[in-house]
Every structure is written in structure tokens, then in C-alpha cells.
A and B are shown apart, each in its own frame.
Chain A
Amino acid sequence: MGWVEGRTFFFAAAIAVAIAAVGAASIERTRAGRALVGALHAAEAGFLALLLAILLVLSFTQIILRNVAHTGFVWIDPLLRHVLLWIGFVGGAVATRREAHISVDALSRYLPPGPRRAARILSRLFAAAICIVLAYAVLGVMRDEAEMATTAFLGVPVWVLQGIMPATLLVMSVRFLGQAMRAEPPAPEPDAGAA
């Protein structure tokens, strides 16, 4: 790809992700560390909620403008489409933390505990690795967009908006690695609508 050799990137990213995963695991052993991680998780969840709130408010504003005032802002539509992209990837990061990703786990459900743990470690390591490769693929695209100086709306560069993808993919990678190290799924969080 020219700018960074793929192999160099994978190597560096894998080390960084491993350090982050090990670091997070050791920080979580102290009370202050748990509080910090908890605050970060709350901020992440809050950001996801904020994204959806923006989507709801702006799309509704657009309807009102279009049908009542017969006008509209051209920047709202591309903004909404990018908010969706962000919801997808931030939501994906939260789904990783809660182990809520969809998988075809036909076999692993019926495995005895020992092999099930091995399956869990293997599949998480694999997911962590794929996330790094995907982040690399997107970074390449971002570099092209930055070179061409493309903008999406209101002068916001496309590459900045794409930045959420490698950022969250690397977070997911750290989380998958952490799950491979923990080897036991956490207690399920209370589901919405379970009332």
C-alpha cells in the first residue's frame, strides 16, 4: 500500500492491542481502575444514545421543514447518513463489550465445557485479528480521501468521518482479546423489555 507496509502495521497494531488488553485487565483489578473503566463504558453508551438522539431530532426537523415550510437543509441528509455509520460502529463496539454480536454458534452451544472454552478463545483471537486487518483496510481508504480532500457536508472531510471505523475496530479488537484472556462470558446484563 506504500505508506505503511501491511505487515509492519499488523505487527505494531497487534502489540498495541495486546498491551491495551492486558493493561485494561490489570487496571480492572483495582477499585479506582474499575471506576475508570466503568466511566469510559458509560461515556461510550451515552455517546451512542446521543447519536440516536441526533438522528431522531434532525430527521424529524427535516420532515417538518420539508412539509410545512417547503424547504430544508441540504446538509442534513448526508449528516444523517454518517450518523448512521457512526451508530453502526459505536453500537458494534458496545455489542462487543456485551458479547451481543450475532454468530452462527450452532456447534459451540452443544460443546462440553473444556472444548467450549477452547472454541471461545480461538474464535475471539480470530475476531481480534480480523478487526486489525479491517482497520488497516479503512486507514488506506482514509489516506486516499485525505489526499483527494473530499468533503461530505459543510466542509467536513470524508476521512474524518471515516475515522470512527478504525477507531472502533481497534477498540473491538482489544475487547475480543480481553474476552479470549478471560475465557468466561460475563453475567448477562438485564435485557430491555424484560420487565
Chain B
Amino acid sequence: MIAVVIIILLAVLGAPLFAVLSAFALAAFHAMQVDLRVVGIEMYRLAENPLLIAIPMFTFAGYLLAESGAPRRLVALSRAFLGWLPGGLACVALLTCALFTAFTGASGVTIIAVGGLLLPALRAEKYPERFTYGLLTTSGSLGLLFAPSLPIILYGYVAQVSIDKLYAAGFVPGVMLLVILGAYAARVSIRGNMPRTRFSRREALRALRAAAWEAPLPLLVVGGIYGGKVTLTEAASATAMYTLFVEVCIYRDVRPRDLPRILTESMVLVGAILVILAAALGLTNYFITAEVPQRLFEWTQQYIGDRGLFLVILNLFLLVVGCLMDIFSAILVVVPLIAPVAAGYGVDPVHLGIIFLTNLEIGYSTPPVGLNLFIAALRFRRSVLEMTRASLPFLGLYVLALIVITYVPALSLWLVRLLGVR
């Protein structure tokens, strides 16, 4: 018990999470008088599952896109097609951020690469300052529910749910989020009597031609994964190689001599995630050995009778988790505990995944540790408090969407059934 308190204290003092999780696992097994080798065996399980290979390859593709002119071309393209709508440029921002986050895994790259481009454009069209900051801050994690997002891969791996199913399940809720936020933007635009641009076929064709090599990329990934023709690993490999070819050989945005640097940069984040995963595997083994999830379920059953109430508590709990932890650690630590409990209440594991990820998407923009707030504050040279205040109306809409996603399981599940994804 004392050990647990000390480890938690060290965690909030800033010890790396992989060391914290390992310490829990080592201390627990030591107390059970189990040989510590079990933790080593679990760490080696990183080399067991072919799914994990997709993580570095998608991350590399995302970093490569961020380094290239892809954000600029993507903004131009969606602007040519959506710019005429009321709130058109804000919708452009939403769509671009969502696509970009799906590829870069919400590591803050979206705000840096896309937010910086969109800020001057939005301000030039007279969008209110606070609205603009709120939009760009919260959109840093929008798109988490779309393929090929990294958190979904991790969730599927940890919860042992089909990742293809999760991608199919995330599509409709993800689109719903976009529509809700887009409608809000349109309202702001109409109220502010903001000028609208006219659709120009010439402009659209030009933007389409400029992005001709990149525009098919989402379709390629989405078609490949949702269509079930290729495995996730194959899709990741093909995406990375295609991106590499297009950005280096065709657009020549990325010089070959920059490649070693980009390869390394992208792997620092991956390394940080994988060592936490290695540590979490050891801790999960302890949870299972000590039957912690079962006990947790028995304990919650004394207080929480039905599924409806459980879902309310679950959402509140996950919002707090999202406030305190980043998404990767939250998935690796909380999912092994919560997933069996939720299954006990009859929550569909795929639906649970979407609830979980939507909560954490919100957590990205909540103090005290919301990554979006810090990166936006850094990128736009404003205070974290200002970014937080600007994000509030958007977070309200996210919570609204979360409630719908939680209480309408069909929203998440109908596409899974329709496509017959396994």
C-alpha cells in the first residue's frame, strides 16, 4: 500500500509513465512472490503481434505529410469545394483538421501544421478571434475516430477488439461531430453577416489538379481498410510507401537528405508509446492474475445497478481521465480495467471503444494537461487560459455529441453491421 502511494506521488511529480507502470507491475508481482521475469516476458510480447507494425508506418506517413506541402494543398482543395457554404472556411478547417489528425494520430502535429495555415485565413474573413482560436484548438483532436487513426489501433490491440470494426464504427459518429461543429460555424457566419465566396469551377479544377496525387490517399486507406481487402499492416505499408514516393519524387516537397531526420523524428513518439505499451502489458498481466477487473465489476455492481447509470458514471470518469492523462496512456492503463466491467453491464465492446475515444478526444482540450491547449498556446503565442476559454463552446458541442454517441449505440454499430465487417 505504501509502495502504491509512493509510486503515484512520483507519477504526479513527473516520472515517465512507462517507469510508473513498470514499477506498479514489479511491486505487485514482488508482493505476490512471483518471479520478476514475468514482467520481462510481457515486454517481449511487443514482438508478438503483427498489428503493432502498422503504428510506426502510419506515424511516419503522417510526419511526412506534415513536412510537405500537403496541408497547404489540402486547405486549397477543401476551400475550393466548401468555401461557398456559410461558415465555409470554418468547415474547411474542420475537414482538413479531421483528415490530418486521422493520419498523424493527434500528436499535436495538426495544430502546428494546419492550424498555422488556417489562422490568418480565418481572421482575414473576419471570424471572431475567440471562435477562431477555439475552433483550431479543439480541432487538433477531431478526426480521431477516422481510419487510420493511431489511438484506434492501440484501443483495438489493448481491448482485443477488431480494429476494422472500430474503424467502421467510428465513421458515422465522426461525421456527426463534423456536422454539429459545421452547423455551429454556419450559425456564427450567418449571425456575423460574413461575406461568402462564390464557387468557381476553374478554382476547383486547379486545386484538384494540384492535389491530384494526395487527394486519393484517404480513399485508398479508407477503401482498403473498410473494404476488408487488405490487412491493416499492408494498408500502413502501402500508405507510407505511397506518401514517400509522392512527396519526395513527385511534389519534391521533401528533400531526400531530410528523410533520415524525419524517419527519426517520427519514431521518437512511437518509441515513447511502445515502451509504455511494453510496461502496460506487464501491469495488465498482474490485473488478470489478481482478477482485478472481476473484483472491480463486483464492487461497482453494489452501487450501479443498470447499464444506463453505468454509462453516465463511465462518461464522467473518462472525462476526468481525459483531463489528467494523454490519450495513449489512458488507453493503455484504463482500457484493461474498464473493458471487462463494461462487458459485464452488456455494453458492446466496439461501442465502448467509440465512447472511450470520444471522451478522450474531449480530454485533449481540457485543463490541466490537455495537449491541444498547450500546443495551441505555443503555436498561436497566447496563454493557455485564453485557449481554454475559447474552447469552451466547442467542448459543449463535443459533450452533446458524446451523449448522443453514448445513448444511441446504433450510431456506432449500424455501419459495422451494414458492411459486415469482422
Looking at the assembled complex, report how far the CB atom of A83 sits from the nearest CB atom of chain B, in whole angstroms.
Answer: 8
Stretch from A19-27, A30-38, A87-95 contacting the other chain: A87-95
Contact B18 A100, beta carbon cutoff 8 Å: no
CB <8 Å contact, A106 and B369: yes
In the bound complex, CA of A144 to CA of B264 (Å): 33
Q: Which residues of A contact B276 (CB under 8 A)?
A: 102
Q: By CB atoms of chain A within 10 A, which of B13, B23, B56, B265 has the most?
A: B13
A107 to B311, CA, bound (A): 29
Bound together, the chains give a CA A126 to CA B12 distance in angstroms of: 13
What residues of A have a CB within 8 angstroms of the CB of B270 in the complex?
Answer: 87-88, 91
A94: which of B11, B53, B236, B264 is its contact (CB, 8 Å)? B264
Nearest B residue to A85 by beta-carbon distance?
B47
- In-complex Cβ contact of B234 among A6, A63, A90, A162 (8 A): A63
Total residues of chain B contacting the partner, CB 8 A: 75
With A88-B277, A123-B15 already in contact, the answer to whether A59 and B264 are too (CB < 8 A) is: no
Check A91/B268 contact, CB under 8 A, given A49-B263, A106-B324.
Answer: yes
Are B237 and A141 touching (Cβ within 8 A)? no
B240 sits at the interface (CB 8 A): yes
Determine whether B238 belongs to the interface, using a CB cutoff of 8 Å to chain A.
yes
Q: Is B266 an interface residue (CB 8 A)?
A: yes
User: B38-46, B85-93, B344-352: which lies at the A interface?
Assistant: B38-46
Separation in Å of the B374 CB from the closest CB of chain A? Answer: 9
Cross-chain contact of A87 among B41, B262, B267 (Cβ < 8 A): B267
The A-contacting residues of B in range 23-53, CB under 8 angstroms, are 23, 26, 35-41, 43-44, 46-50, 52-53
Q: Are A141 and B16 neighbours in the complex by a CB distance under 8 Å?
A: no
Q: Taking the nearest CB of chain B, how far is it from the CB of A161, in angstroms?
A: 7
Is the pair B262, A122 in contact by a Cβ cutoff of 8 Å? no
Please state if B47 and A84 are interface contacts (CB–CB under 8 Å): yes
Say yes or no: is B329 at the interface (Cβ < 8 Å to chain A): yes
A154 CB within 8 Å of chain B = no
Q: Which residues of B contact A108 (CB under 8 A)?
A: 12-14
Asked whether A133 lies within 8 Å of B36 as measured between CB atoms, the reply is yes
> Contact: A87 with B56, CB < 8 Å?
yes
Q: Is A101 touching B53 in the complex (CB atoms < 8 A)?
A: no
Q: Which residues of B contact A195 (CB under 8 A)?
A: 67, 113
Q: Distance in Å from the Cβ of B108 to the closest Cβ of chain A?
A: 8
User: How many angstroms between the C-alpha atoms of A92 and B268 in the bound complex?
Assistant: 7
Q: Nearest Cβ in chain B — how far from A94, in angstroms? A: 5
Find A130's partner among B26, B53, B268, B368 (CB 8 Å cutoff).
Answer: B26
CB < 8 Å neighbour of B272 from A52, A82, A92, A136: A92
CB pair A141–B271 under 8 Å, yes or no, is: no
What interface size band does chain A fall in? 35 or more
Asked if A102 and B329 sit within 8 Å, CB to CB, the answer is yes
B57 at the interface (CB under 8 A from A): yes
Docked-complex contact A122 and B13, CB < 8 angstroms: yes
Q: If A107-B12, A126-B15, A193-B63 touch, does A144 touch B37 (CB 8 Å cutoff)?
A: yes
Q: Could you mark each residue 158-181 of chain A with 1 if its beta carbon is under 8 Å from any beta carbon of chain B, else 0?
A: 000110010000000000000000
Check: B325 CB closer than 8 A to any chain A CB: yes
Residues A52 and B266 in contact, CB atoms below 8 Å apart: yes
B67 — which chain A residues lie within 8 A by C-beta?
A: 192-193, 195
Question: Does the CB pair A104–B36 fall under 8 Å?
Answer: no
Among the listed A49, A83, A90, A138, which residue makes an inter-chain contact with B260, where contact means beta carbons less than 8 Å apart?
Answer: A49
Question: Which of B10, B236, B259 gathers most chain A CB within 10 Å?
Answer: B10
Among A59, A82, A95, point to the contact of B237 (Cβ < 8 A): A59
Complex contact B16–A103 (CB within 8 A) = yes
Which of A46, A94, A134 makes the CB contact (< 8 A) with B40?
A134
- Which of A105, A120, A126, A140 is within 8 Å of B23, CB to CB? A126
Q: B66 in the interface, Cβ–Cβ < 8 Å? A: yes
Q: Within 8 Å of chain A (Cβ to Cβ): is B98?
A: no
Complex Cα spacing A136 to B20, Å: 17
The answer to whether A92 touches B264 (Cβ under 8 A) is no
Pairs of residues from A and B, 10 with the lowest C-beta to C-beta distance, nearest first: A91-B271, A88-B274, A193-B66, A49-B263, A101-B16, A123-B15, A192-B265, A92-B275, A137-B40, A119-B13
11 examples of A-B residue contacts, CB within 8 angstroms: A49-B264, A80-B50, A83-B53, A91-B271, A104-B369, A120-B14, A126-B23, A127-B15, A127-B19, A141-B41, A144-B37
Besides A82-B47, A191-B265, 10 more A-B contacts (Cβ < 8 Å) are A48-B263, A56-B237, A88-B46, A88-B271, A89-B274, A92-B272, A105-B14, A105-B369, A138-B44, A193-B109
Residues of B with Cβ closer than 8 Å to A? 10-20, 22-23, 26, 35-41, 43-44, 46-50, 52-53, 55-57, 60, 63, 66-67, 109, 112-113, 233-234, 236-238, 240-241, 244, 259-278, 324-326, 328-329, 368-369
Interface residues of A (CB under 8 A from B): 1, 6, 45-46, 48-49, 51-53, 55-56, 59-60, 62-63, 77-78, 80-85, 87-96, 98, 100-110, 119-120, 122-124, 126-127, 130-131, 133-134, 136-142, 144, 152, 161-162, 165, 191-195
